């Protein structure tokens, strides 16, 4: 143990070693009171830089903080896993719904998106068919869909579809004598197809002038409609099903005018309050247990937070005592590096992690109670705090002699590694820019062929 | 050879070297009898820590154990390869049958499973068609299938299909005014379609109220039926063909209510006794040779087992003698590490491996004789024992000086490597949890796009 | 700083150290004038081999070149990124157009090229259908295409398609008695299908003797036609749209006579002047800003070019002074390696990079003004110069002590690495030749099977 | 140069250094004649172990062998590349033909083989259709195929198809009462469908009892036929086209009786003499140039062979002189390792390589003259010899000091690397066996799923 303490002494006394070590420098005329004070400070400093095991052996102090941290790891990880699993259900429902909508509304959808768009058409006939197919499927949705969806209302409280087309304002193209007159201003024209309109003879709306497209000046067509759905599978795992509003938008993108219209399908799924929903039957009331567990996590984190804050405050006081003593005795300031050694970085990490866990847990309880739907922020808070808690475990490994060597080696080699990365990064950046501009766009296909297959 | 023996001396006498080496510490008044005994023990110890080559040179002892181990490697590997090849036939038959069933009973099956499910449907019409297709194919199985399968009987001794549907107990959905009444209790309803029923006009059973599905409260539909098959290809390699019972189950899973019904196909193939099976013609009777071979493996493993057990018993006796002598002479206990050096870990490995081979070979003979069908356990036993036997070869490499250095280096560096892995593991675990919760579910599609294509 | 200078001294004075260092070697009778001159030269040399920081500290010289280089990095990178993005639009349009043409003119095109060809046919019927499909689609192009394309004119100023077939001059194949008479000279026959011809009854031209193919002597059929298109999307990002001439060529390649006709689709897109093009509406006039930016880049590069050239000229003059002094004083020539140290490689790199940037920027301005369309050369010039500029950053890293060590180590180990690569390259070359000839062609399929799936 | 020679001395005089170096051991009474002889031998030995550069400097001997080797590398590589390119044409023709046949004769062939088989069927109806499709396509081949193929004759000189089916001798399967009677002997039944038969009403032969398959006892059906083809593309690159006989065989494999019939397509393409083939027109007569080139390669290799053999013979003579001298003077035998140093391994390599090149080139000329078609053997000979020639280049690198160090280091570390590989290999072998048997067959699908996508 002695060796360990001396090893700790060395870094601390870097710049004052000449003074504190050599007894010949001491003032022989100093009061005994001062010597007692110095001895006391020396003891306190030694104790401060001990690790829990040594503290226990030295003053039989039980390592509460250590125990609390271990308990916290278990609790926080359990909470995270439970939250992650429940999140996955929500996300899977959204994605499955989007896939199902694509199969329902996109004609000839293969099941896999082509690139960032879902599918593409190359002829005028295919474009018309694809548009009319989507509208028709919407009309007969009730008899086709397998999901629990129903028609929703647009922003102007009307049911039905809204079809919008963007095109250049006016223009004529006479291919015979190679003339193109175009007005570069963009115009948007919309049509609203309510369910009443769709129920009539389809030839009526299909033959409207709106659907007579002039492709050479067409920029894009957008079909948007709202659907409402219910995620019933939460009945068994949680108490109340979530209601969703799907804001779907099919976009036929002809902005490139390259002869290929890309079809995008976007589905924004928002969780909304369910209006009329009667669930009968025997639902297990397991909500309170979850809330109790979350509350327990908060209590533990609060305890850990208080203990760590107390440690830091004590450390700052000790630093003040040490600085005063040093100034008094040697008439010199302690160098900055030694001052910073009093602030334990691990405690700061624990405090940040605790704060994040507490806020995250409160958010989680609010989500559970259907007051909030802010899944993303909650995920980031809980996830980051768990990362910090696990990284904090390394600190305890540092207490063992052999691990300590490992960690110190890594600390020492880090700047060299970073320096090398900076050098390599410069060359890489230059190479990337050069490669992108010289090889990139012109040989896309060749590169794909060599690497892609 | 001297150097090698001294090299062996060094590790053994770690903690007693001060005593045994320095002649000045010896009691000059010791009886000659004691000195003779000491010399004898010294000789025995030296001999015990020699390797086979040295033993042969020292006392011309022929290395029976070494020869036996080499023979065992050959035998065990041959046995394993033969068993593996015969297993592969069985497994290939099961898998090919499952693939064939999927092509027969799943409408629009592409030949590749989509994810963990085989295929999926997205519209009400497709769902009905898929169900009726499966039932129809079952009805006409005899005229369609290429395999040697026939109808089996359900658990209640009836032929035909069993179709079950699970749904929430009762419910109404009125999309017009956004109302959903549902009872969260789950109800299961079944129908039995015997071959007699299927032979009638299909419209009769298709129009039954059972097949009028309310998708908003439907949880899943399960079509289950039993088929019997014979694996005829074993006629040539083994003497008797295996009879199989395929318990097939097609599941239409709508639990997510996301508008996508996943279709699962499960086929449990069990080997059963063939009831009426007349094989005539010239089958080669090669079974007895296989049995003789297996018996020979068992005999060799038994011999190896006995020799190694004897070695360990002798070593324990030697240890006792050494401990007594040490206690008598120096009034001290031998430290634990030195005591453990008497137990040769390699012998323990060989004994475990032998026991596993013997049990595995007996199992194999029973399987051959059609008394057992426990392929899995037998595989694990034989496979693990072969792994141990091959790993045991490293021991003999350790007898050569140069390899020994290699092995000792690896032994010494192992704890450091493990320590590093522990550190890295902590960070990795934290990172995984954090990444899963923060990035995981929300950006599935993007990650797939960057990595998957 | 002293140490740094001495470190610089060491490499410079490699071969003259014995003379310049030891004061004992100096001629005591030298004139004071000479001594002053020597001291002055020594000072100049010291200053020349300083880095900017040291120069600033020594003579308070502000590092203009350093500042200019940093500004240049920013400017050149910005220019490159802007140029790259605008290029990508052009390239994407060309590629999308080619894909669209493939979908329009190739029957049964799957969307992915098979190998270097787009698709393939295996029967006579499919070949005829594929040819007639392409011709037919061309005929009805106006009603099919989604792009802004129109018929162009062939090189002989006629509209319509040109179909050419290559075949062996004459030949008969009588499979019954295994006779093949063939004339190995190749004959090319062409037919011109104008729009007027295509408008008639299709059976008229389909039944012409030209389309009666004798496959055993057919080498290839080529359908070529010209289309004109406009890239309208540049209206918003740049001021004027580009007009394109697509020279399309569908090739049915039967040269191998293996029973498989490979269908190639080539589309050469050339940017041409738009003849009659009226763009009205509010186009943002942002061209002048781009031109000003490019001009500013040229000015900066010119400044950098002049400063670096001046530095090199000064260095050469200093070298001359040094050589004269050395020859005068010690009657010896300075060794080559020391002479080369006067020419700073980094300056040469900067000069090359500057010249390339200036030429590239002028090209870019010409392209912008629609006088040139030489995108490729401009890309290579700007890209390579940016690579050099970024690589030049490493030089400044070399001024820091720690980085310098890194760079010197890399310099020292380079020859060893190259030597090892040469050795390995020899073996690899031999192995490649051997593997290609022995394994390559005969086992293509097996290798594909093991690696490709 | 002295140092280099001494460096060479050191390895040579390993075991005799004590004698040859110390002048004190010499016999003072030796005749002057003996001393002259010794000096002469010493000179010869020194010269023998020099490298070409040193030899040139020592005796101004021009390095003929070195020049010859460099010329040989160029010649042999050129020859190999030419041969490889011409081979690739042949192989590509064979493969394209096979792919074309698969598209012609296999119904529903997707273009990619499924596993080791081309496609598979799962129902009785599909099987019949697939068989009849293949026969039908064969019948109408002339009007379908794009290649220059014609019907060939079977081994019994009859045109047309041969359809064979293998099945168990007799058997009945009554699924109703689970009875299977089968005779395990295999019976083969064949039918010959000549073109005359096929020209009749298809229902005639389709309804024959042969095509009434009993799938439960069917093992396999084999359709075999011969086609003749001509590889016309060689007209331009070589002088005469090759004639091919394609022995095609479609196999419907039902040996597993798993309900899945795998369809294999095998096409053995053999080059045969073209019987009646009239090629008129202007074929370039470039054959003689190729033959002259090949002859030149043979001459060079012969020269290299003779020079190297002479070197080895001279070395053996020198060794004899050295041994005699040594025995005479020191009455001792030279140790084995030193004797082996006289035989230069590189010369042996060159001799083997030369012999292979000569045989390979003669084969190549015979192939060119259409006397032989043994492409494979010729490839192996030429390929291996080129590999040896390129590996031989390393020897010359060894003459440079720095490379020599590299090569010596590699030589020294080789045994350690091999030893490590042996150790790792043992563990890997054990692990492989264990993994194969325990995990392998039972979890095929899961492993595929995790790794395959």
From chain A, the residues in CB contact with B440 under 8 A are 84, 88
Residues B160 and B243 in one domain: yes
Residues C213 and C299 in one domain: no
Residues C72 and C126 in one domain: no
Contacts of residue B35, Cβ cutoff 8 Å, sequence gap at least 6: none
**Residue D187: helix, strand or coil by DSSP?**
strand
Within-domain flag for A186: yes
Q: Mind listing the pLDDT tens digit for each residue in C116-138?
A: 899 999 999 999 999 999 999 99
Contact criterion met (CB below 8 Å) for B434 and A84: no
Q: Mind listing the pLDDT tens digit for each residue in C277-311?
A: 677 665 555 567 778 889 999 999 999 999 889 98
Question: From the CA atom positions of chain D, what is the Rg in Å?
Answer: 34
Residues B272 and B143 in one domain: yes
Strand-pair partners of A244: A229, A271
H/E stretch holding D219 reads: strand D218-231
The pLDDT score that the predictor gives to residue B14 is 38
Residue whose tokens read 């003789």: B292
Q: Could you tell me if B281 lies within 8 Å of chain D, comparing CB atoms? A: yes
Contact criterion met (CB below 8 Å) for D96 and C115: no
| Cα angle A215, A219, A221; round to 5 | 90
Q: Could you tell me if D313 lies within 8 Å of chain B, comparing CB atoms? A: no
Contact criterion met (CB below 8 Å) for B189 and B168: no
Within the 13-52 window of chain C, which residues sit less than 8 Å (CB to CB) from chain A?
none
**Residue D112: helix, strand or coil by DSSP?**
coil
Question: What span, in angstroms and rounded, lies between the C-alpha atoms of D353 and D381?
Answer: 9
Within-domain flag for A275: yes
Give the number of B-D residue pairs with CB atoms closer than 8 Å.
172
**Gap between the terminal Cα atoms of chain A:** 62
Contact criterion met (CB below 8 Å) for B305 and B361: no
Within-domain flag for C119: yes
Contact criterion met (CB below 8 Å) for A168 and A187: yes
Q: Nearest C-alpha of chain B: how many angstroms from D410?
A: 18
Question: What span, in angstroms and rounded, lies between the C-alpha atoms of D130 and D107?
Answer: 6
pLDDT confidence tier of residue B15, bands split at 50, 70 and 90: very low
The pLDDT score that the predictor gives to residue A237 is 63
Within-domain flag for C427: no
Contacts of residue C269, Cβ cutoff 8 Å, sequence gap at least 6: C94, C97, C98, C244, C245, C246
Question: What span, in angstroms and rounded, lies between the C-alpha atoms of D237 and C185?
Answer: 13
DSSP B116: S
Burial of A24 (0-12, 13-18, 19+ CB in 10 A): exposed
Q: Mind listing the pLDDT tens digit for each residue in C322-376?
A: 888 888 888 877 777 777 777 888 888 899 999 999 999 999 888 877 677 777 7
| Cα angle A173, A175, A181; round to 5 | 25
The upper half-sphere exposure of residue C440, i.e. CA atoms within 13 Å in the direction of its Cβ, equals 23
Q: Does the structure show a pLDDT above 80 at C249?
A: yes
Strand-pair partners of D270: D245
Residue that wins the pLDDT comparison between B55 and D165: D165
The residue count for chain B: 453
Question: What span, in angstroms and rounded, lies between the C-alpha atoms of C92 and A444?
Answer: 10
Q: Mind listing the pLDDT tens digit for each residue in D415-446?
A: 778 877 877 787 788 888 888 777 765 554 44
Strand-pair partners of A248: A225, A267
Residue whose tokens read 């269908």: C263
Residues C138 and C268 in one domain: yes
Nearest CA in chain A to B172: A278
Residue that wins the pLDDT comparison between A447 and A382: A382
Q: Which of A213-227, A289-303, B431-445, D341-355 has the lowest mean pLDDT?
A: B431-445
Nearest CA in chain D to C183: D280
Q: Nearest C-alpha of chain A: how many angstroms from B216?
A: 5
Q: How many domains is chain B partitioned into structurally?
A: 2
H helices of D106-226, where? 124-139, 141-144, 195-199, 202-206
Do A182 and C232 make contact, defined as CB atoms within 8 angstroms?
yes
Of the spans A444-453, B414-423, C222-231, which averages the highest pLDDT?
A: C222-231
Q: Which of C147, C383, C388 sits opposite A437 (nearest CB)?
A: C383
H helices of B140-269, where? 141-144, 195-199, 202-206, 234-237
Integer angstrom CA distances of residue C139 from A178, C132, C161: 18, 10, 9
Q: Mind listing the pLDDT tens digit for each residue in D389-416?
A: 888 777 776 666 666 676 777 777 887 7
For the whole model, what pTM was predicted?
Answer: 0.79
Within-domain flag for C453: no
Residues A235 and A335 in one domain: no
Residue whose tokens read 């050879």: B1
Question: What span, in angstroms and rounded, lies between the C-alpha atoms of A377 and A383?
Answer: 10
| Residue where one domain finishes, among candidates D388, D409, D424 | D388
The pLDDT score that the predictor gives to residue B284 is 52
pLDDT confidence tier of residue B452, bands split at 50, 70 and 90: very low
The pLDDT score that the predictor gives to residue C448 is 41
The upper half-sphere exposure of residue D167, i.e. CA atoms within 13 Å in the direction of its Cβ, equals 19
Residues C125 and C265 in one domain: yes
From chain B, the residues in CB contact with A273 under 8 A are none
Do A148 and B426 make contact, defined as CB atoms within 8 angstroms?
no
Residues A99 and A122 in one domain: no
Residues B252 and B143 in one domain: yes
Phi and psi dihedrals of B182, rounded to 5?
Answer: -145, 145
Q: Which of A104, A148, A282 sits opposite B122 (nearest CB)?
A: A104
Contact criterion met (CB below 8 Å) for D379 and C443: no
The pLDDT score that the predictor gives to residue D7 is 37
DSSP C123: B
Residues A267 and A289 in one domain: no
Question: What span, in angstroms and rounded, lies between the C-alpha atoms of B436 and A77?
Answer: 12
Q: Nearest C-alpha of chain A: how many angstroms from C347?
A: 18
Beta strands A119-121 and A261-272, pairing class = antiparallel
Within-domain flag for A381: yes
Burial of D148 (0-12, 13-18, 19+ CB in 10 A): buried
Burial of B340 (0-12, 13-18, 19+ CB in 10 A): exposed
Contact criterion met (CB below 8 Å) for C295 and C288: no
Do A433 and C228 make contact, defined as CB atoms within 8 angstroms?
no
Beta strands C186-193 and A119-121, pairing class = unpaired
| Residue where one domain finishes, among candidates B388, B412, B435 | B388
**What are A116's two structure tokens?**
């960032």
Within the 182-241 window of chain A, which residues sit less than 8 Å (CB to CB) from chain C?
182-185, 215-216
Q: What number is the average pLDDT over the span C83-106? A: 88
Nearest CA in chain B to A231: B257
Question: What span, in angstroms and rounded, lies between the C-alpha atoms of A7 and B152?
Answer: 78
Residue that wins the pLDDT comparison between A121 and D330: A121
Do C259 and D100 make contact, defined as CB atoms within 8 angstroms?
yes
The pLDDT score that the predictor gives to residue A5 is 37
DSSP A404: H
Picking from D40, D126, D60, D111, the residue whose alpha carbon sits closest to that of residue D322 is D40
Question: What span, in angstroms and rounded, lies between the C-alpha atoms of A80 and B434?
Answer: 9
Q: CB count, 10 Å around CB of C322?
A: 20
Which ipTM score applies to this complex?
0.75
Contacts of residue D301, Cβ cutoff 8 Å, sequence gap at least 6: D72, D76, D354, D357, D358, D361
Mutate to test the interface with A, among B165, B417, B434 (most CBs of A within 10 A): B434
Contact criterion met (CB below 8 Å) for A6 and A21: no
Contacts of residue C247, Cβ cutoff 8 Å, sequence gap at least 6: C224, C226, C267, C268, C270
Integer angstrom CA distances of residue A157 from A140, A152, A153, C99, D326: 21, 9, 5, 42, 114
Burial of C386 (0-12, 13-18, 19+ CB in 10 A): buried
Residues A165 and A128 in one domain: yes
Beta strands C179-183 and D276-280, pairing class = parallel
Within-domain flag for C416: no
Residues A87 and A224 in one domain: no
Q: Nearest C-alpha of chain B: how many angstroms from D453?
A: 8
Integer angstrom CA distances of residue B229 from B274, B279, C401, D179: 10, 16, 79, 11
Question: What span, in angstroms and rounded, lies between the C-alpha atoms of D302 and D308?
Answer: 10
Q: Nearest C-alpha of chain C: how many angstroms from A97?
A: 27
Residue whose tokens read 């070395």: D315
Q: Does the structure show a pLDDT above 60 at C444?
A: no
Range A284-306 burial, b when 16+ CB lie within 10 A, else e: eeeeeebeeebeebbebbebbbe
Q: Nearest C-alpha of chain D: how many angstroms from C260?
A: 6
Residue that wins the pLDDT comparison between B332 and C178: B332
The pLDDT score that the predictor gives to residue C18 is 39
Picking from C142, A229, D438, the residue whose alpha carbon sits closest to that of residue B379 is D438
Within-domain flag for A427: no
| Residue where one domain finishes, among candidates A279, A306, A329 | A279
Q: Could you tell me if D333 lies within 8 Å of chain B, comparing CB atoms? A: no
**Residue D194: helix, strand or coil by DSSP?**
coil
Residue whose tokens read 């010269």: D47
Do C280 and A182 make contact, defined as CB atoms within 8 angstroms?
yes
Domain of A223?
110-171+180-279
Q: Mind listing the pLDDT tens digit for each residue in D208-255?
A: 888 888 888 899 999 999 998 888 877 766 567 778 889 999 999 998
D318-322: long-range pairs with CB below 8 Å, 24+:
D318/D44, D318/D45, D318/D48, D318/D342, D321/D41, D321/D44, D322/D41, D322/D45
| Cα angle B8, B13, B16; round to 5 | 170
Contact criterion met (CB below 8 Å) for C60 and C53: no
Do D406 and C420 make contact, defined as CB atoms within 8 angstroms?
yes
């Amino acid at each position: 143990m002695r060796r360990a303490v001396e090893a700790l002494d060395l870094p601390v006394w870097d710049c004052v070693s000449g003074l504190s070590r050599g007894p010949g420098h001491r003032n022989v005329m100093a009061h005994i009171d001062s010597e007692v004070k110095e001895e006391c400070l020396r003891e306190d400093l030694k104790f401060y830089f001990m690790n829990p095991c040594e503290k226990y052996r030295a003053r039989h102090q039980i390592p509460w903080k250590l125990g609390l941290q271990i308990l916290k790891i278990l609790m926080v990880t359990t909470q995270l896993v439970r939250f992650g699993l429940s999140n996955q259900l929500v996300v899977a429902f959204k994605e499955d719904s989007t896939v199902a909508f694509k199969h329902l509304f996109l004609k000839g959808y293969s099941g896999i998106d082509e690139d960032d768009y879902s599918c593409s058409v190359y002829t005028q006939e295919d474009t018309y068919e694809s548009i009319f197919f989507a509208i028709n499927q919407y009309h007969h949705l009730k008899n086709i869909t397998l999901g629990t969806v129903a028609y929703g209302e647009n922003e102007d409280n009307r049911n039905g579809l809204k079809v919008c087309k963007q095109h250049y304002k006016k223009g004529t193209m006479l291919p015979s004598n190679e003339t193109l007159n175009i007005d570069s201003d963009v115009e948007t024209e919309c049509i609203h197809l309510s369910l009443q309109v769709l129920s009539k003879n389809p030839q009526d709306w299909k033959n409207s002038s709106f659907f007579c497209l002039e492709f050479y000046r067409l920029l894009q067509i957008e079909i948007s409609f709202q659907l409402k759905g219910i995620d019933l599978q939460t009945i068994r795992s949680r108490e109340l099903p979530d209601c969703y509003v799907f804001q779907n938008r099919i976009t036929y993108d002809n902005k490139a005018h390259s002869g290929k219209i890309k079809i995008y399908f976007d589905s924004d799924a928002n969780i909304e309050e369910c209006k009329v929903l009667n669930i009968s039957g025997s639902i297990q009331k397991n909500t309170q247990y979850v809330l109790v567990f979350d509350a327990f996590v908060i209590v533990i984190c609060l305890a850990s937070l208080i203990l760590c804050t107390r440690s830091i405050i004590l450390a700052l006081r000790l630093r003040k005592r040490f600085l005063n003593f040093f100034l008094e005795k040697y008439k010199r300031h302690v160098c900055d590096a030694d001052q910073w050694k009093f602030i334990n970085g691990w405690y700061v990490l624990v405090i940040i992690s605790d704060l994040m866990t507490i806020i995250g847990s409160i958010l989680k309880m609010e989500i559970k109670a259907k007051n909030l739907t802010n899944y993303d922020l909650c995920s980031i808070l809980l996830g980051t705090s768990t990362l910090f808690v696990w990284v904090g475990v390394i600190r305890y490994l540092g207490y063992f002699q052999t691990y300590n060597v490992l960690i110190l080696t890594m600390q020492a080699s880090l700047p060299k590694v970073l320096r090398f990365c900076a050098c390599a990064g410069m060359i890489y950046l230059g190479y990337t820019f050069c490669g992108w501009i010289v090889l990139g766009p012109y040989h896309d296909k060749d590169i794909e062929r060599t690497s892609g297959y």
